[in-house]
Structure 1
Amino acid sequence: MLTWVQKLDVVNERLLLASVSSATSATLATEIEATEPRFSFYRHTAPDAPILFISTCPSSSKIKERMLYAASRGIVIQIAQNEAGITIAKRIEATNPDEVTAQTIEDEFKQQAETKTAFARPKRPGKR
């Protein structure tokens, strides 16, 4: 359960590493700064488990910060996948870090049970 939290240097428009920790899904919200926007990468459970990308942008953030984070979200994901070799399985966007709870993370990784039904041929219209 490893977490990388990234922040943007708004003045220089650079991506910086804010922190690296071994947070659990229950403590993840406390690891993310609540006053500034952040991009976080969270590895759920085992070392080979998929990575969750979490984007948080509090409503108290400055307008320039919000615009910069919204514009660079896709680029950060692309860099993480192409240059760093990180496979992002799921994405969560939240306003505040406290919205990213253990239940939210569990719901993202919960396997949806697919019910397959065979194709039902339409019934022939009957005579009247």
Structure 2
Amino acid sequence: MSNQSGIIADQEVLNAIAELPTRYASVVAKIEQTDEPVIKLHDTFHDLDALREFIDGNEDTPYYIIIHDDPKSIFIAYTPDYAPIRSKMLYASSKIAFQRQIGANNLKSFMFTEPGDIDEKSWTDSTAREELMTESELEKLQIDAQQHTMRNSGAVKLVSAHNSTANTLGFKVVDTGNIKPLLEKYNLLVFKIDLGTEEIKIKNKINTSYSAEIIERISSDSPSYCIFHKSGNYYFILTCPSGSAIKERMVYAANKRAFLISLKDSDDIEIKRTFEIGDSDELDLSEFNDESAEVNTQSAAKPKFNKPKAPSRRR
């Protein structure tokens, strides 16, 4: 597969966008995931009603939508909550390249998750604050809100050399300082962010007898942070299951780095590797194999050959 950020639109899509006849006529494009992914034309619609009727019947499929308007057309990355997380990531990472092909300076860009968002007021009503926000603006608002929460709740600000907002934890961590001892008793801890109490709490303490059990024990209906302890190593897993709300995903993503710093500073936990997955069954369990075991397995798998005898000299 080619680099996701390099996925571009084929000429049919570009022609359809250039030929949109009237205001609010639209083009719907879709990433065709083949060996060489490409953005292809899916359909065109003459007005918003026809477009919404189409979107209403597609609850789990992301699309790019371009709506003709003046002076700037409307570009929508439509990623419904029930779309697979990998599809959401693919559309997010390819969006800027597609916009450049169309002409980014002539677009108003939005990210919507509900069919009802596709409405004129979403991009014209100045009072609809969250509907007017682009993806990056919405994420910034979420981070700002977390910082405000931190200042008012007494949460600890984590300081780095760069003093980045990504290192600022907007929630109190319950059991800070006791997490490492817990990981001596249990090899899997599952954490959740409680927006109501503004805390990161331990949701489950689990002893798994085999690595595959992780998949069974991770939450399938909401995002979570997980720490897995095996052979002296600590692994961090961020899960965002299909169907989890975009607000939840953003909160977990925005606090991930700061939570990892908190683990290191407060509990002396060094994470060997971090995993970010959608549903739990996307976790590659082979990553938890002991390196020594892997080496031995590879050595055992190699066929052994007897060293050939040197040819005898002729006299």
**TM-score (norm. length: structure 2):** 0.32
Return the match for 1:14 from 199, 202, 214.
199
Alignment of 1:35-114 (within 5 A): 35-44=221-230, 46=231, 49-106=232-289, 110=291
CA distance in 2, matches of 1:39, 1:63: 16
1:87-128 Cα shifts (integer Å, max 9, x gaps): 11111111111112432433xx54799xxxxxxxxxxxxxxx
Residue identity (%):
26
Which structure shows the bigger proportion of residues in strand conformation? 1
The answer to whether the 8 Å contact 1:10/1:65 transfers is no
CA distance in 1, matches of 2:243, 2:199: 21
CA distance in 1, matches of 2:205, 2:236: 14
Return the match for 1:30 from 216, 220, 229.
216
Alpha-carbon distance, 1:54 to partner: 0.7
Question: Using CA pairs below 8 Å that are at least 6 residues apart, which structure has the higher relative contact order?
Answer: 1
Computing the radius of gyration over CA atoms, which structure comes out larger, 1 or 2?
Answer: 2
1:50-103 Cα shifts (integer Å, max 9, x gaps): 100111011311111011001000111011111111111111111111112432
- Give the aligned CA root-mean-square deviation in angstroms: 2.0
Read off the aligned partner of 2:207 and give its amino acid letter: S
CA distance in 2, matches of 1:94, 1:110: 22
1:26-73 Cα shifts (integer Å, max 9, x gaps): 1011111011001000012x3xx1100111011311111011001000
Query: Segments of 4+ in structure 1 off by > 6 A?
Result: none
Q: Aligned residues, how many?
A: 108
CA distance in 2, matches of 1:85, 1:16: 18
Read off the aligned partner of 2:229 and give its amino acid letter: R
The answer to whether the 8 Å contact 1:29/1:101 transfers is no
Alpha-carbon distance, 1:6 to partner: 0.4
**TM-score (norm. length: structure 1):** 0.75
Read off the aligned partner of 2:269 and give its amino acid letter: I
CA distance in 1, matches of 2:254, 2:200: 13
Alpha-carbon distance, 1:12 to partner: 3.2
The answer to whether the 8 Å contact 1:26/1:101 transfers is no
Read off the aligned partner of 1:98 and give its amino acid letter: D
Alpha-carbon distance, 1:4 to partner: 0.7
SS in 2 for 1:93: strand
